[in-house]
Amino acid sequence: MLEKYSRYRILREFFVYPTTFFFMRQISRNTRISQPSVLHHLKALVKAELITRDEEKGLYPSYRAHRDSELFKRYKVSDLLVRFQETGLISSISDQCLPDCIVLFGSASLGEDTEESDIDLFIQSPETKLNLEKFEKIFKRKINLFFEEKFTRLSSELKNNILNGIKLKGYLKVFVGGSHKNNS
């Protein structure tokens, strides 16, 4: 649905390639949106502080993601979650692994990933060999899966990273057992 909105399609270029400098014509070619429309949307995105305009990169201005903008980061994460749904990545993993929980963590969960970053997913299930090449081409990122059946077996640092991530499916049991001692 959002794909039909030209501004969103233009902004998605900056989500996928956040460190790249783009020229208006390049964006027009990539998105198949006319140059006058692209220019109009670029001006609006600069005004909204989602991208920046750089006059120093040649004869024509170039544009780049405003990676320090909290709003840009939030939109970037939201876009990634939409793309998970559109591509069926989470459904595919879920169907093949039957996990209790799937969590997105690391730089992608914060909207801070770059072209060189990977997408880190915690899968609470026994390790399963999956072919994710199709999805890695779509996302233009390597996808790292971290399998573990028992959350308690993970290192403290990894537990913290996962807990600060975004739960995509299921329920993550952090505390197991029902007996709490009352020290009164």
The DSSP annotation for 115-184 comes to TT-EEEEEE-SS------HHHHHHHTSEEEEEE-S-GGGS-HHHHHHHHTSEEEEE----S--S------
Cβ atoms of residues 70 and 64 within 8 Å:
no
From CA 77, how far away is CA 110, in angstroms rounded?
A: 7
In the chain, where the domains are located: 2-68, 71-170
For 19-46, what is each residue's pLDDT tens digit?
999 999 999 999 999 999 999 999 999 9
Residue from 88, 115, 85, 134 nearest 15 by CA: 115
**Does the domain spanning 71-170 belong to CATH 3.30.460.10?**
yes
Cα dist from 93 to 117, 121, 165, whole Å: 20, 10, 18
Hey, which residues does 119 pair with through a beta bridge? 143
Residue 55: the pLDDT is 80
Each residue of 149-177: pLDDT tens digit? 999 999 999 999 999 999 999 998 877 66
Residue 146, CB-side half-sphere exposure with 13 Å CA sphere: 18
pLDDT by residue (tens digit) across 102-150?
999 999 999 999 999 999 999 999 999 999 999 999 999 999 999 999 9
Query: Cα 112 vs. chain centroid, distance in angstroms?
Result: 8
Tokens at 143, concatenated: 């996808």
| Closest alpha carbon to 101 in 116, 113, 90 | 90
Instruction: Give CATH for domain 2-68.
Output: 1.10.10.10
